Structure 1
Amino acid sequence: MATDFTVLSDAAVQALFRAFTKDDVKFMAEALRSAFHAYSTAEESKYQLHRSAITRPSGRTTLFMPSTLEIGSSVKMVGVPAPGEDSTLRCTLTICDNIGQCIGVINAGEFTAFRTSLGAMLIFDQRTRVGNIVIFGAGKQAFWHLRLAIILRGKNIECITVINRSQARGSQMVHRVKQECGNAADHIVFHIVEAGDKSREHTYHGDIQCADVIFCTTPSTEPLFSTEVLAASSQSKRYISAIGSYRLDMQEIPPDYLQWYTKLECREILVDSGEAAYLEAGEIVKADIKPEHILEMGQLVERERTTTGEAVRSLQDWLENDNVVYKSVGLGIMDLALGKALIDLARERGVGVRLVDF
């Protein structure tokens, strides 16, 4: 049986994203929340295959990231260049419906940065205080964190500090943010701090201490800041999100901070997948975080839906006002759920190439 088939090029994806309103972002966020919930509470996790990789003699690697949910299935392929080649990743996402009929293909370079960043926004959008934001990194992930943050809470943001090894790249990223956010970013003060090595860490201690939100988007092998710096801060409650490290030899958040957070604060670390966190999140493994201190985002969604009485206020107060840590390594279900939602929006708005008899 023939069905609609949609092709979204990089230009088409960016055209959709550039026109995104707050309602569009919330629509996509709800699709992601539903996918997380299914993964954690409807036994969808047991139907997921772990990503695999093949490296050719040339040194080029292809990653395969499959996923399946009740709504359908998908495979994302990521081309990783050989050492010394252009470092740009090439990503393609293929999506099928729940009977296996292919419904679309998406150029997933920009899309992948968007979907990962959107995961961090699920908590960010609930926070009471978001006035001062510090972000580590200046790549696509960093851009999308700021773009989405401004769409969702731009009126509440006063200052954004970008900390990156290259000030020039940080400036380029801020220029793109201002260009795409338009008037929504006019009142925001941007600072760019060059942090080439540990000897320059003191130059941004003050920014860290004043931060209501810290976004980490770099594949760092060392913590990006110290627990001592946070401890010396008058701003004692903040939201920290880390999405850049994805191997056990990487870490963005200090392991001793995670130990303090889980043992002394008695809080849970929010993750996309507990299983994946122990396989890929270096800071969680280095901190020896126990499973009882890990809470999957889908489990949080379930807790929000089922909590009653006084416990509702306690849960809200934690998510809105207290210390919260979110660690993501990325899941295939994020690609599937958001890719399908994006195809739906593209068809509704006449974006992309559409075949009605594929």
Structure 2
Amino acid sequence: MTLILTRSELTGLVTPRQVAEAVETAFTDLAQGRAAQPHAEPARLPGADPQFVPMVGLLGGEVAVSKLLSDIPGNRGRGLPTQQSVVVLADAETGAPLAILDGAVPTRLRTAAATRVATRHLARPDWDTLGVVGAGPLAAAHVVALADERDLERVLVWSRSAATVETLRRTVAEACPGLEVVAAASAREVVAAADVVCTVTPSREPLVEGAWLRPGQHLNAVGSPPRNDHREVDAAVLGAARDSGLLVVDSTPAALHESGDVAHAVAEGVITAEDCALELARVVGGQHPGRTSDRQVSVFNSVGIGLEDAAVGRLLLDAARERGLGTEITLSS
């Protein structure tokens, strides 16, 4: 039997801490050879707007995942989401289809969890101020996840839209009582005030400049869609992290093929493809020391990988079964 889980059934099913622990374990398993993360190229016709991104991951002895992400900027004009996805989980031993999940909740949860894990391993141990560039649902997921990681009193947020900041403020007030959301006047103000910065926008042009960074800061570049013509940070941001030895990616092939931040920095000659060789799994798995100085600038450039979907998908499936949620079907009937 295959369990079908809708977005409403998945919402609120697991905690940010549970997701972070599952994602961290998956990265450790990848480093130690107990998981696999192949890269698959996006499918797109020449000159066409729609792009379809396959993401595959394998947690050995547990589940295999296949997620299809559609990235269609033209959907804005149709009043539809620019990104939609569906997640399929299969038994890693038998190949039997276990579940089909709407992808919105798992994607948001695992993206914020990967940022949380990266921040745990790369930021200064004494960091205590968070800044966020962007204020949409992904920003809210990041604030909630990082507030659960660290006892924060306030978060500084900048967005082009005051309305999205207000929506973020209400979401955070419900999930994290007592955490104050402060609207910043600019992205530069966010960077100037924060030890840890998250960029969570679909921007085409850089919103954060390397010249603004201070020694010891950690930045998570998370929001760009998997397109080389989108970027949230300029080349100097990645250059600063490379110079500190802490330019970290979730997947080197994915970063080189799908990250606009990386593509522009390489094209401008600030970094090389070889500078993107340090994957987060090596840091989490203890194969790389991570931060060794309080003055290093660290950057986690996140594209998103199937292994993260496998980890959160397994977690959500178990939680749904415990609560009797979802609809069971027999696909082979």
TM range (shorter): 0.7 to 0.9
**Residue 90 of structure 1 pairs with residue 69 of structure 2:** no
Distance 1:290 1:151 in 2: 34
Contact 1:222 1:251 in 2 (8 A): yes
- The structure in which a higher percent of residues are helix is 1
Other-structure match for 2:220: 241
Unaligned runs of 5+ residues in structure 1 are 195-202, 308-313
**Residue 332 of structure 1 pairs with residue 320 of structure 2:** no
**Residue 112 of structure 1 pairs with residue 95 of structure 2:** no
Distance 2:69 2:103 in 1: 9
Per-residue CA deviation, residues 71-90 of structure 1 (Å, 9 max, x unaligned), is: 23222233455442123133
Other-structure match for 1:344: 318
Q: What count of residue pairs does the alignment treat as equivalent?
A: 319
Label 1:218 to 1:315 Cα distance change in 2 as closer, same or farther (>3 A): closer
Distance 1:262 1:64 in 2: 29
Other-structure match for 1:100: 95
- Per the alignment, in what secondary structure is the counterpart of residue 221 of structure 1? coil
Contact 2:228 2:258 in 1 (8 A): yes
278-287 or 214-223, larger mean C-alpha shift: 278-287
Task: Choose from 269, 272, 289 the match for 1:289.
Answer: 272
**1:245-260 residue pairs with structure 2 within 5 A?**
245=224, 246-260=226-240
Code of the aligned partner of 2:133: F
**1:189-268 residue pairs with structure 2 within 5 A?**
189-193=180-184, 203-231=186-214, 236-245=215-224, 246-263=226-243, 265=244, 267-268=245-246
Code of the aligned partner of 1:66: V
**1:35-114 residue pairs with structure 2 within 5 A?**
35-42=26-33, 48-53=38-43, 62-70=52-60, 71-80=62-71, 82-83=74-75, 84-88=77-81, 89-98=83-92, 99-114=94-109
Q: Give the percent of matched residue pairs that are identical in Structure 1 and Structure 2.
A: 23
Distance 1:60 1:171 in 2: 31
141-150 or 219-228, larger mean C-alpha shift: 219-228
Per-residue CA deviation, residues 95-133 of structure 1 (Å, 9 max, x unaligned), is: 110111111121111221111111000032354334321
Code of the aligned partner of 2:145: L
Distance 1:224 1:108 in 2: 27
Other-structure match for 2:145: 148
Contact 2:188 2:212 in 1 (8 A): yes
- Per the alignment, in what secondary structure is the counterpart of residue 78 of structure 2? coil
Unaligned runs of 5+ residues in structure 2 are none
Distance 2:53 2:256 in 1: 20
Code of the aligned partner of 1:53: A
Distance 2:255 2:169 in 1: 31
CA shift for structure 1 position 29 = 2.4
CA shift for structure 1 position 322 = 4.3
Distance 2:302 2:249 in 1: 6
Distance 1:172 1:144 in 2: 13
Label 1:139 to 1:350 Cα distance change in 2 as closer, same or farther (>3 A): same
- Per the alignment, in what secondary structure is the counterpart of residue 206 of structure 2? coil
Larger-gyration structure (1/2) = 1
87-96 or 138-147, larger mean C-alpha shift: 87-96
Distance 1:211 1:283 in 2: 21
**Residue 302 of structure 1 pairs with residue 256 of structure 2:** no
Contact 2:320 2:326 in 1 (8 A): yes
Considering only aligned residues, what root-mean-square deviation do their CA atoms show, in Å? 3.1
CA shift for structure 1 position 94 = 1.3
Per-residue CA deviation, residues 270-307 of structure 1 (Å, 9 max, x unaligned), is: 11111111112222232323525631111112326xx8
Contact 2:192 2:213 in 1 (8 A): yes
Label 1:284 to 1:49 Cα distance change in 2 as closer, same or farther (>3 A): closer
Q: Which runs of 4+ in 1 moved over 6 A?
A: 355-358
Label 1:292 to 1:136 Cα distance change in 2 as closer, same or farther (>3 A): closer
**1:274-285 residue pairs with structure 2 within 5 A?**
274-285=252-263
**1:21-36 residue pairs with structure 2 within 5 A?**
25-36=16-27
Task: Choose from 3, 18, 21 the match for 1:6.
Answer: 3
Contact 2:132 2:190 in 1 (8 A): no
Contact 2:211 2:236 in 1 (8 A): no
CA shift for structure 1 position 54 = 5.8
